[in-house]
């Protein structure tokens, strides 16, 4: 169905990313411009179609004139901006962040249903994580398998909150929330009741599809069989914003 979007009344700015002169709409973020121009930046919490939380910090970039690193997903472009997406320092930071994600919970890829189709694994590869230099915490987290169709394994959760946002912003059910702090932080359904008993969950499965790891999966999948399909998101999100 063609959408009659109003003609854009936004201005266009020019900026320089990794030495390339680019133009972009002034309401775009750095990561959006990079994605459009095929400039790779790792990201985890950001997702085209969801609101921005800037939680994972994997998309950090250097901006000339700023003495701190900025999250590309949470920073709007500006006229004359000069961005560096790849440097020794950025690589070091990103690799450390990914390692910390592995060290915090229990990612046993070889038995995980998401093995081979996991964004955390891809990130590890992209960031050169061949091993984890800090000690694993080895703390056990729960598995909630009470839902007919889906399961959440907190051992594999990276707290990106994509599930929370998609459920709230796209499905409108707001089943998911965050509870607890630090390493105890966990995604919960309704008021921390078992997912299978949730009154709000419509079983649409959107959270499962957007979850980057094997934390949210379909029941009945075996090792390596959980392949996620996220192409629905930008379509639904655009329809929503133009309603």
Q: Which residues bind ligand SF4 (CB under 6 A)?
A: 107-109, 112, 114-115, 118, 120-121, 156-163, 187, 211-216
Residue 118 binds which entry of other proteins, ligand SF4, ligand FES, none, CB below 5-8 Å type-dependent: ligand SF4
Residue 30's nearest CA partner among 73, 59, 69, 82 is 73
Q: Which two tokens stand for residue 101?
A: 């994600």
Site residues for ligand FES, window 64-83 (CB under 6 A)? 71, 73
Give the per-residue contact string, 171-200, with other proteins (x = CB under 8 A; - = no): -------------------------x----
Residue 67 binds which entry of other proteins, ligand SF4, ligand FES, none, CB below 5-8 Å type-dependent: none
Tell me whether residue 128 is exposed, middle or buried, using C-beta atoms within 10 angstroms of its C-beta: 0 to 12, 13 to 18, 19 or more.
exposed
Least CB distance to other proteins at residue 195 (A): 10
Among 219, 227, 234, 240, binds other proteins (CB under 8 A): 219
Residue spans of beta strands (DSSP E) within the chain: 12-17, 20-25, 60-63, 70-71, 82-84, 143-144, 150-153, 176-179, 186-189, 216-218
Choices 42-50, 80-88, 111-119, 137-145; region in contact with ligand FES by CB under 6 A? 42-50
- Report the half-sphere exposure of 118 (CA within 13 A, side-chain side): 26
Taking CB under 8 A as the rule, does residue 67 contact other proteins?
Answer: no
Residues 165 and 167: their CA atoms lie apart, in Å, by: 5
* Residues whose CB falls within 8 Å of the CB of residue 35, separated by 6 or more in sequence, listed in order: 48
Choices 49-57, 140-148, 191-199, 201-209; region in contact with ligand FES by CB under 6 A? 49-57
């Amino acid at each position: 169905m063609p959408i009659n979007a109003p003609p854009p009344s936004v201005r266009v700015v020019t900026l320089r990313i990794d030495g390339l002169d680019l133009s972009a709409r002034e309401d775009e973020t750095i990561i959006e411009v990079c994605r459009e121009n095929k400039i790779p930046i790792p990201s985890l919490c950001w997702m085209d179609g969801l609101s921005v939380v800037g939680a994972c910090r994997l998309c950090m970039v250097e901006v000339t004139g700023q003495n701190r690193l900025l999250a590309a997903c949470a920073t709007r472009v500006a006229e004359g901006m000069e961005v560096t997406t790849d440097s020794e320092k950025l690589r070091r930071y990103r690799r450390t962040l990914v390692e910390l994600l592995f060290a915090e919970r229990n990612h046993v890829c070889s038995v995980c249903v998401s093995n081979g189709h996991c964004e955390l694994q891809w990130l590890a590869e992209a960031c050169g994580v061949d091993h984890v230099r800090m000690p694993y915490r080895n703390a056990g987290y729960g598995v909630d398998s009470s839902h007919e169709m889906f399961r959440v394994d907190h051992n594999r959760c990276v707290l990106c909150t994509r599930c929370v946002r998609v459920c709230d912003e796209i499905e409108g059910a707001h089943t998911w929330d965050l509870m607890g702090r630090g390493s105890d932080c966990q995604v919960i359904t309704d008021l921390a009741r078992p997912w299978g008993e949730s009154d709000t969950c419509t079983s649409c499965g959107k959270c499962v599809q957007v979850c980057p790891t094997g934390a949210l999966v379909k029941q009945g999948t075996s090792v390596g069989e959980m392949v996620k399909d996220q192409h629905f998101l930008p379509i639904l999100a655009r329809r929503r914003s133009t309603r």
